[in-house]
Structure 1
Amino acid sequence: MNGGTGDTRGSGGSSGFGGLGGGSSSPTKTLRVLVVEDSITVLAHIREVLAAHPDIEVVGEAHDGATAVALCQRLRPDVVSMDMMLPGMNGQEATEAIMAHSPTPILIVSSSTNRGELLRTYEALAAGAVEVLEKPNAGQPEGEWERRYVTLLRLVARIRVITHVRARLGGGGGGGGGAGSAAAGATFAASRPAPLAPPPTPRRAVLALGASTGGPGALMKVLQALPAPAPLPVLIVMHINAVFSRGFAEWLDAQTPHRVRYAQGGERLRDLAGQVVLAPPDVHMIVRGGQIALVHTPPRHSCRPSVDELFESLAAENGPGVAAALLTGMGRDGAQGLLAIRRAGGATLAQDEASSMVYGMPREAAQLGAAERVLPLADIGPALLGLSGVAWGGAHT
């Protein structure tokens, strides 16, 4: 998700997960939009905004989730603008149904002040929605939200989406990765012939993950495949706006067997075993002198926090003691850092194109030769287990 914190490219500052903030695309055909919104006031405003763009056509409107699902199947729009708080079937449930039966790029238009709506927003993102934008409010400069909304609609419509397994299987938070992840791990192991004399795997000091657009669902799947308690720290940079960061760690904690929280400056890395630590919004998280440091240096690739900042610091500090994976996301953040880790003797993975919502960051890593292996999302967690060089306690529940 992007915006003023997770991705400072957009002045809107109210969109969510990073990588979609860079400018607008030149329209080549009419953009067909299905608007799902139960607020008469917000719906009227959206109508007015879109009417000012001749290349955008509102092909349908829905005030509830069930109607939205039916219209999406019948009208086949290019993009859906989806409210979360809907009567009957809510926006999360509607998103899951759409992604299971008629996959369509979805932009969530959500409130960040309602905790329940915020948690449903994360569920919808994990079910395959592409981006999230905060609802318009009186405190924003005139025209800012409107420009941001239209830009995101155009960009989201360009994202390739597929039938989403989580949605097709009926969702389900923490249980979504158990048997599937185990099977994926078996497939992964069976697909690689064992060498006659395998070299010992170095004992790692830390696992590191980077993600952007599509990251909530990808991170959830990887963490579900890692049994708790983790015998070493897991550090994560996810492009996220401060507006939508509230509750994200709580949501990820609830979806996985791990304790997930935001980092605090000054924590010693060796004391963080068993914890999953996220970079807070609008600061870079790095490791320096064996401690977590939160720094306000300029954005990298228009992103703060930046995956490259974390990965490069780990390469310098821990070298062979790092195992890292770069997951789905737009842009190139993390690719150079992953290359630095590989050159320092660490283990490096990247998500493959078929399982990525946006094959930008991991593609850049693959093209640079930064990733030792490019794997489907389902194989990354099991691969990290094997690369960690330490025993993992407990079973995934």
Structure 2
Amino acid sequence: MNKVRVLIVDDSRTMRSLIAAALLRDPEIEVVGQAADPLEAREAMKALDPDVVTLDVEMPNMSGIEFLEKVMRLRPTPVIMVSNLTSRGTDETIKALEIGAFDCVAKPAPGEIEMFADLPLKVKTAGRARLSIANGKTRKPNADAVNGRVKNDYRCDDRIVAIGASTGGVEALLAVLSRFPKNCPPTVITQHMPATFTKSFADRLDRVCEPRVSEATHGAPLMPGQIYLAPGGANHLEVLTGKAGLTCCLKPTDLVNGHRPSVDVLFHSVAAMVGAAAVGVILTGMGRDGAEGLKAMRQAGASTIGQNEATSLVYGMPKVAFERGGVEKQVPLNKIGDEILSLTTRKEEGGRSCQRRLLSEH
């Protein structure tokens, strides 16, 4: 197997050494060059033609964002952003993922023992996806799709929506949620993302989407017009039902499928607590997280959607979910938002909505 060839771009010599050391632990990766700023990186990319670039967010001469825009326009290459754990760093990283960066990692905190533990796997996945990047599969969402495009006459039937995503999920979620009207179905989302980035991502979604988007908090009620994003790092997001209705539940339990929060944990809770009064959606991402949970949702009577291969940056999670029988319908990314709305449009049943009827039976 050919090694994945990586160019490291960071203005810190120490950080370049740490990244190189983490990557070289994997025999399937080769570090072909290093650059201290985007100007050096530009020449190195021409000379070395790397499969993947790791790119610092904040650098001299030209910001990582500016350089990324040039790369995606002139020489499409998978880029993994390496960000400081600062408010500015996380905000810029979210912008980079919207522009077309493949994925992101956080720079290690002082005293962190296992530095960049997940970087080698992300680099290898990015290397395999190089052709997709070059063919323009990852694109910034169309401006028309993020402004003034929703159905004004939509009426929610009180079902809830559960969405799982990983690599490529920032663009995918923007494309889906930008179709949601202000009175959208109650929606819960698990997106694989470092802990420091989920707040910035929720804030970004809240600015560009009509519904209210926020990080989930323990006990927050699921209501129309509310979208909750699982906080990264310490907890899994689940859905619970009680006398007050459906609420978010944050649980600090073990990793599942190597993740916390895990899509499987969210989907299994929805299957158990809500059953048929739900829609499950699995979007682009590497690995298998969410496949068994989506299957459980479908078996419980929920409608389930998987992003199709042609529009997935990484057709991993949706593929496994489809192969294991969890996906009822595969849909292109640009049609998933409308498909969700179609499935959750109010259909009166003797004055009671579908969800209220099902919850009363629990």
TM over 0.5: yes
- Paired letter, 1:279: A
Superposed displacement of residue 243, structure 1: 3.5
2:200 maps to 247
How do 1:56-205 residues align onto structure 2 when only pairs under 5 Å count? Answer: 57-65=30-38, 68-69=41-42, 71-73=44-46, 75-112=48-85, 114-141=86-113, 144-145=114-115, 149-150=119-120, 152-160=122-130, 161-163=132-134, 171=140, 175=143, 177-178=145-146, 203-205=157-159
Determine which of 212, 216, 224 is the counterpart of 1:273: 224
Q: Secondary structure at the match of 1:302?
A: coil
The Cα of 1:316 is off from its aligned counterpart by 2.5
Deviation per CA, 1:164-219: give whole Å up to 9, x if none: 86986xx5x8936248978xx9xxxxxxxxxxxxxxx9934211111111111111
Task: Tell me how far 1:361 sits from its aligned partner.
Answer: 1.1
Distance 1:261 1:178, change over 3 A: closer
Give the structure 2 partner of residue 226 of structure 1.
180
1:164 and 1:256 map into 2 onto residues whose CA distance is: 28
> For the residues of structure 1 that align with 2:84 and 2:312, how far apart are their CA atoms?
27
Range that drifts further, 229-238 or 127-136:
127-136
Change (3 A) 1:255 1:39: farther
Q: How far off is 1:149 after superposition?
A: 4.5
Name which structure has the greater RCO, CA cutoff 8 Å, separation 6+.
1
The secondary structure found in structure 1 opposite 2:304 is: strand
Structure 1 gap segments, 5+ residues each: 1-27, 186-200, 392-397
Q: How far apart, CA to CA, are the structure 1 residues paired with 2:340 and 2:199?
A: 28
Match for residue 164 of structure 2 among 201, 210, 214: 210
Q: Which amino acid aligns with 1:219?
A: L
Match of 2:354 in 1: none
Give 1:304's aligned residue: 260
**Residues 52 and 175 from structure 1, CA distance in 2 versus in 1: closer, same or farther, beyond 3 angstroms?**
closer
C-alpha distance after superposition, 1:300-334 (max 9, x if no partner): 22222222222222223222221221001112221
Closer, same or farther: CA 356–275 of 1 in aligned 2, 3 Å:
same
Q: Tell me the CA shift for residue 121 of structure 1.
A: 0.6
The answer to whether residue 232 in structure 2 is matched with residue 260 in structure 1 is no
CA contact (8 A) 1:100 1:163 kept: no
Q: Deviations over 1:123-152 (max 9, x none)?
A: 1122222222222454122xx326655554
Aligned 8 A contact 1:99 1:167 in 2: no
Alignment TM-score, normalising by the size of structure 2:
0.81
Residues 147 and 178, structure 2, Cα contact 8 Å, conserved in 1? no
Range moving further from structure 2, 255-264 or 39-48: 39-48
Q: Over the residues paired in the alignment, what is the CA RMSD in angstroms? A: 3.2
| Residue in 1 that maps onto 2:319 | 363
Number of residues paired by the alignment?
Answer: 338
Distance in 2 (alpha carbons) for counterparts of 1:331 and 1:54: 20
Asked if the contact 2:156/2:183 (under 8 Å) is kept, the reply is: no
Q: Give 1:325's aligned residue.
A: 281
Residue pair 2:199, 2:214 contacting (<8 A) in 1 also: no
